[in-house]
């Protein structure tokens, strides 16, 4: 009888194996799958705005909750349909510290996937504006402006800290999805952490690659340099701290390191 889910130690081993697989994707596959992930996260962002523009005048808390409730479709598509998302790939550091991949392999994956995510995000943002969904002065456009204003008025330090919390939750969602053994369980595992980070207003670098260009395309006054230097790069730094250091390395110490040390001792005694 197959298991319904993996134990944390088994998830750690699975995360390492998946990290190795990701590191060995071809360059073109990393870019293609990165573009798809950018599109998927953008779909979640667009759904978030669609819900929020309806309920924001009724109750802010309800609006944030409902917006957060639909945003997880992006990560569900990434995990279940298959794509490469930079923030989730931060977990590759577990394979790195286990000496299964090189830092060059990891950074190549991060760089190409990050680029692909950006391309996919801005393609979707531009396409949505072209279709007339975000007409100037409409509730959709005003909601997009409101989101962008919040992201650009926070301090760099605040964005970094919010980025840390965002990718702790995103990587926990990815972590739990690795432990789930069926699509329904994966969707549920992803939904709660992602909904929480969106509802709480944390900063996700890839989501911001959609939200900020979208607002710019419909008239929000922000330069590309301001967008990157004040928000996306600080959010990326926070995401790396939360998703590449805190979650994978602490779990490595707890679940993998003792096993490796025991294995070494057994080989020596043998």
Give the model confidence (pLDDT) of 168-193 as tens digits.
Answer: 999 999 999 999 999 999 999 999 99
Here the CATH number for the domain that contains residue 259 is 1.20.1080.10
Give dist(CA 33, CA 10) in Å, integer.
Answer: 26
> Does any domain span residue 3?
no
Residue 2 banded pLDDT, cuts 50, 70, 90: low
Give dist(CA 40, CA 117) in Å, integer.
Answer: 9
Crossing angle of helices 183-199 and 156-179, in 10° steps, is: 170
Tell me the average pLDDT of the chain.
95
> Does any domain span residue 169?
yes
Write out the two tokens for 209: 């690659």
- Please tell me the predicted confidence (pLDDT) of residue 268: 67
- Mean pLDDT for the stretch of residues 75-94: 98
What is the tens place of the pLDDT at every residue in 22-72?
A: 999 999 999 999 999 999 999 999 999 999 998 877 788 889 999 999 999
Residue 262 banded pLDDT, cuts 50, 70, 90: confident
> Does any domain span residue 2?
no
Q: Above 70 in pLDDT, residue 264?
A: no
> Does any domain span residue 1?
no
> Does any domain span residue 74?
yes
111 Cβ contact list (under 8 Å, min separation 6): none
Provide the domain count of the chain.
1
- Please tell me the predicted confidence (pLDDT) of residue 206: 98
**57 is in which domain, residue-wise?**
8-265
Contact predicate 93/106, CB 8 Å: yes
> Does any domain span residue 115?
yes
């Amino acid at each position: 009888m197959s298991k319904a889910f993996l134990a944390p130690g088994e998830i750690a081993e699975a995360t390492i194996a998946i990290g190795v697989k990701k590191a060995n994707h071809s360059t073109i596959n990393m870019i293609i799958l990165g573009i798809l992930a950018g599109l998927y996260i953008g779909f979640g962002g667009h759904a978030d705005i669609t819900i929020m523009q309806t309920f924001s005048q009724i109750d802010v808390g309800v609006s944030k909750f409902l917006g957060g409730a639909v945003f997880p479709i992006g990560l569900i598509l990434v995990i279940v349909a298959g794509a490469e998302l930079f923030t989730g790939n931060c977990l590759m550091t577990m394979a790195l510290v286990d000496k299964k991949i090189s830092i060059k392999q990891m950074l190549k994956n991060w760089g190409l996937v990050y680029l692909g995510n950006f391309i996919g995000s801005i393609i979707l943002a531009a396409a949505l504006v072209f279709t007339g969904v975000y007409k100037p002065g409409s509730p959709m456009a005003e909601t997009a402006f409101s989101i962008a204003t919040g992201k650009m008025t926070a301090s760099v330090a605040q964005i970094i800290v919010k980025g840390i919390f965002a990718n702790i939750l995103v990587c926990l969602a990815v972590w739990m999805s690795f432990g789930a053994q069926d699509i329904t369980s994966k969707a549920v595992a992803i939904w709660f952490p992602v909904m929480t980070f969106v509802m709480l207003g944390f900063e996700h670098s890839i989501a911001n690659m959609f939200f900020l260009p979208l607002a710019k395309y419909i008239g929000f006054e922000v330069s590309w340099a301001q967008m990157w230097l004040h928000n996306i790069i600080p959010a990326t730094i926070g995401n790396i701290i939360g998703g590449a250091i805190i979650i994978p390395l602490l779990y490595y110490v707890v679940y993998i390191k003792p096993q490796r040390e025991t294995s070494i001792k057994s080989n020596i005694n043998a």
